[in-house]
Amino acid sequence: MTRYSYLSHLECARCGHVHDATVAQGLCRRCASPLLARYDLDALKREVPRSSLRDRSWELWRYHELLPSSAASNEVKLGEVVTPLLKMARHGADLGLQELWIKDESATPTSTFKARGAAVGVSRAAELGWTQIAMPTNGNAGAAWAAYAARAGLRALIAMPEDAPRITRAECLTAGAEVHLVDGVISDAGAMIADAVSRGDWVDVATLKEPYRIEGKKTMGLEIVEQLGWTLPDVVVYPTGGGVGLIGIHKAIEELLALGWVEGQMPRFVAVQSSGCAPIVSAFEQGRPDSTFWEDSRTVAFGINVPKALGDFIMLDILYKTGGIAVDVNDDALLEELRILGRHEGLFVCPEGAAAVAATRRLAERGWISPTDRVVVLNTGAGIKYPECVDADLPVLAPGTSIPDSAVHASPTP
Ligand SMILES: *Cc1c(COP(=O)(O)O)cnc(C)c1O
Ligand SMILES: [Zn+2]
């Protein structure tokens, strides 16, 4: 008899202590580190062939054996489509790469990949009986968790920096969340939430403080491998804040390798940060196992403005053991990449995604990525959530004015 989910237990990412997965859990009770969901992969391998996925609908929950929900009826859904994995021939040629792919997360509910973590995290929270969830956010996670909380009938309390993208504030309010703004960064919002949680009835679902957000983000990795015809890329490039996506994609590939659903070598992982907030890059360059708090962080790529990540040691371990690297790019470079990519491919990527593509360009120039490497870059969200990233001021012509002669004759493609 096959099971809907093969979730077996939770394991501390630092000390390995095992926790019961059938009840709600936060951080490790021994060492306060993040917990990782573990599955009975031996049984899954015996009981479910990869081919059983063939007839399932093309959505996130097609991988339910490797997700924590115990029944389909407990899944909270807003339309989690499998997002496109697009080959970028023109932009790849510009970077000198023959196989440059982009996993475009703009088609997710709430228009960023944060929807994946929220879909699975909220589904599991509701299933285990949580009714009130609280979190700090740079905007996108709050928007996603507020939406899924509303859909599941849960209450949401959210704190975010005052200068987080305004649209995300509107999204949280539209979903009926209780929203508070802070004149500071996400760590300040996190302190406010932790305090509120200690004084009241809320459960803290901040990044990695509960185990199932990673599982949602893991589906990016499952999808990439399936979309590549059950083969692995050579390099995965990821814009890194809290690191959940990077940890999740790596975990997905580890599980697929253990199941024998894919064979080959684990890809090299690249953590991309903004020069205005690069604690992981700094730790990596010093060969350290964890990061130190980044003071006065600032970047247009708001989703990766995380001065100190709870899962820094997990990310750094992945970079070291896969032969990966951490690199930073400044805001001018990522905004320039955003514009070039738009012209080459018709994609309006988010600044975080643009940072990942700009880092790929630098690594290709340095020879760290070779021309024949198969590279998958994550565009973690829709650029249209960040309209201020493109200068759209133009002169306005009076009705009856002619379009200038210079523009009347089409020029060859840029
Ligand atoms: C949150 C966010 C990131 C960083 O994701 P982590 O998994 O926390 O590293 C990247 N891009 C966007 C658009 C985000 O909202
Ligand atoms: Zn522990």
Q: From 145, 141, 133, 137, select the one nearest 185 (Cα to Cα).
A: 137
Mean pLDDT rounded to a whole number for the chain: 96
Give the Å distance between the CA of 227 and the centre of ligand 2: 35
Domain containing residue 289: CATH number: 3.40.50.1100
Does residue 329 belong to any structural domain of this protein? yes
Q: 215: which residues sit within 8 A by CB, 6+ positions away? A: 37, 66, 67, 68, 120, 121, 124, 248
Give Cα 127 distance to the centre of its chain.
23
Calculate ∠ Cα 98-101-105, nearest 5°: 170
CA 75 to chain centre: 20
Element (H, E) at 358: helix 351-365
In a domain, 19, yes or no: no
**111, 114, 270, 291: residue to mutate for ligand 1 pocket, most atoms within 8 A of CB:** 114
Q: Is residue 45 a part of any domain in this protein?
A: no
Looking at the predicted structure, is the pLDDT value of residue 180 above 90?
A: yes
Give the residue from 323, 320, 378, 327 showing the smallest Cα distance to 349: 378
Evaluate whether residue 58 is within a structural domain.
no
Q: Is the pTM of this model over 0.85?
A: yes
Q: Which residues contact 141 (CB under 8 A, 6 or more apart)?
A: 114, 117, 118, 135, 207
DSSP letters of 282-299?
HHHHTT-SS----TT---
Cβ contacts of residue 292 below 8 Å, gap of 6+?
279, 282, 283, 308
Q: How far is CA 46 from CA 9, 50, 232, 320, in A?
A: 19, 11, 22, 32
CB contact burial 66-93 (16+ within 10 A = b; e otherwise): bbbbbeeebbbebebebbbbbebeebbe
Mean pLDDT within 355-371: 98
| Tens-place pLDDT, residues 324-351 | 999 999 999 999 999 999 999 999 999 9
217 CA closest ligand 1 atom index? 7
Q: For residue 23, tell me if it sits in a domain.
A: no
Q: Which pLDDT does position 410 carry in this prediction?
A: 77
Lowest mean pLDDT among 75-89, 294-308, 399-413: 399-413
Per residue in 311-324, pLDDT tens? 999 999 999 999 99
Task: Examine residue 57 and state whether it is found in any structural domain, yes or no.
Answer: no
Which ligand is nearest the CA of 240, by number?
1
The total number of structural domains that make up the chain: 1
What's the confidence (pLDDT) of residue 404? 87
Confidence band of 265 (pLDDT split at 50, 70, 90): very high
pLDDT confidence bin for 414, thresholds 50/70/90: low
The percent of residues above 90 in pLDDT, for the chain, comes to: 97
Which residue has its alpha carbon closest to ligand 1 atom 4? Answer: 241
> Residue 45 C-alpha to ligand 2 middle, in angstroms?
28
Q: Which residue's CA lies nearest to atom 3 of ligand 1?
A: 303
Question: What are the tens digits of pLDDT across the range 197-231?
Answer: 999 999 999 999 999 999 999 999 999 999 999 99
**Would you say residue 270 lies in a domain?**
yes
Residue 191's domain comprises 82-387
Residue 412: pLDDT band by 50, 70, 90 thresholds? low
Ligand 1 proximal residues by C-beta, below 6 Å: 112, 114, 140-141, 207, 239-245, 303-304, 350, 352, 380-381
Q: What is the mean pLDDT of residues 384-396?
A: 93
* pLDDT number for residue 411: 74
100 lies in some domain: yes
Residue nearest to atom 10 of ligand 1 (CA): 303
Phi, psi torsion values for 411, nearest 5 degrees: -95, 160
Q: Which residue bears the tokens 């992945």?
A: 318
Residues 25-76: tens digit of each pLDDT:
999 999 999 999 999 999 999 999 999 999 999 999 999 999 999 999 999 9
Please give the C-alpha separations between residue 304 and each of 27, 123, 131, 245, 406, in angstroms, as whole numbers.
22, 25, 29, 11, 41
| Cα–Cα separations (whole angstroms), residue 9 to 33, 37, 211 | 16, 6, 11
Give the nearest ligand 1 atom to 244 CA: 7
122-153: per-residue pLDDT in tens?
A: 999 999 999 999 999 999 999 999 999 999 99
